[in-house]
Structure 1
């Protein structure tokens, strides 16, 4: 089974469209989005509409949750600033974002054994928490044990990695996968990033090589996205970050 996973679009419609076009040729069996559809660019409504049109199961990211606290009449659309991106979201989009789940759990019975995948935006403990490649190993294992996750997929940091940890109590392994970002990479590569996770009938927590993780980078029209920022009331710094991926 091939599972496509992506995160952190941040209202970057050209990047999302390029990723979905690439995904069309991959013959995947399921697709999940780990949140942060909005913020930092001018196409939040178009991104939400595309996700919904494609029937992609989606989590709430920390930027998606900002709309719950946003007072829409507190700032005019003519006022510049970081919050401008959230004021662009229409009423239907706000309702959709407010209804998204915090986590998704997938339970597989393969090889006469259980294999559990947990999807979270930041971490299983907080939508705002960063699970980085160098986060303390014992801390990560404890967190994954709390939710009985053999594979933990996250976003939020915009920095892709696959980390394999050996458990202390048996010979099993746990996988942590950060999906990177479709619309706002921060690893020095401006191309969008998503993951294809491949499981087979022999996949098992006891064999780390039985779980395949592929990071796919997708080029898109970065200039179009950057210029959209510069032509809006958003800070020009957001455009620079798209071009330089930081």
Structure 2
């Protein structure tokens, strides 16, 4: 079965729609989101509604946690807290209800899916873990593959039972059965890997083959809308 996995839409409806249009060109059986569907961007309500219409299952990201729990907002810097407050104003109660039903992690097709770091952290960054941390995590992880987001960057970490290897996620790859993997798939709505195109991955669960997709979209429209909606301008500027 071919599945699509995406992360960190960040209320960037234009980028999300471009990704969905690209997904429609493949015979994808299911689409999953790794959270941070909202925050930073101008269209949180439309993004949450579109997730629902497309029946895309999602886990909670740190921005969803910040919306739902006041004590989680101290984790954000001043600008991010301001953006989160404005995001809350732009969301309906129905959208908040949908967000409340999202789990911290899920396992689908033998793959673990979590926003930040396995087994179910929405806050921990993969890039902050050293090799000893990663080795301990792999020893506890039952799944062959874990997909994560959160850093808005691309990274591949693998474990052969003795050694940790980490590097940039390639454009295409085949997962070996004798290794375990943590795959950071980047961001749809706020990429931070030096390439401003939206990112997501396609994964063939039978062939164990992954393809990284890079999708151009109308950045100008999103950037202007961020400013118009009263969100911090820096989140518009860094889209470029």
* TM-score normalised by structure 1 residue count: 0.82
CA distance in 2, matches of 1:226, 1:17: 15
Cross-structure match for 2:65 = 65
Cross-structure match for 2:100 = 98
Could you list the per-position Cα deviations for residues 117-170 of structure 1 after superposition, in whole angstroms to 9, with x for gaps in the alignment? 2111101252100112x842332232133231210110100102233321139x
Indicate whether 1:156 and 2:150 are aligned: yes
Indicate whether 1:10 and 2:10 are aligned: yes
CA distance in 1, matches of 2:125, 2:63: 14
CA distance in 1, matches of 2:64, 2:100: 8
Please give the secondary structure, in 1, of the residue aligned with 2:238. Answer: helix
Q: 4+ residue stretches of structure 1 with deviation over 6 A? A: none
Unpaired segments ≥5 residues, structure 1: 72-79, 108-115, 204-210
> RMSD over aligned Cα, in angstroms?
2.1
CA distance in 1, matches of 2:129, 2:65: 25
Cross-structure match for 1:222 = 219
- Cα offset for 1:196? 0.8
Q: Spell out the pairing of 1:1-246 with structure 2 (5 A cutoff).
A: 1-70=1-70, 81-82=82-83, 83-106=85-108, 116-123=110-117, 124-132=119-127, 135-168=129-162, 172-200=178-206, 211-243=208-240
Cross-structure match for 1:77 = none
Larger radius of gyration between Structure 1 and Structure 2? 1
CA distance in 2, matches of 1:167, 1:86: 44
- Cα offset for 1:233? 1.4
Unpaired segments ≥5 residues, structure 2: 72-80, 164-176
CA distance in 1, matches of 2:232, 2:196: 18
Higher helix share: 2
Instruction: Indicate how the Cα distance of structure 1 residues 131 and 234 shifts in structure 2: closer, same or farther if over 3 A, else same.
Output: same
Q: 1:4, 1:197 within 8 Å by CA — same for their partners in 2?
A: yes
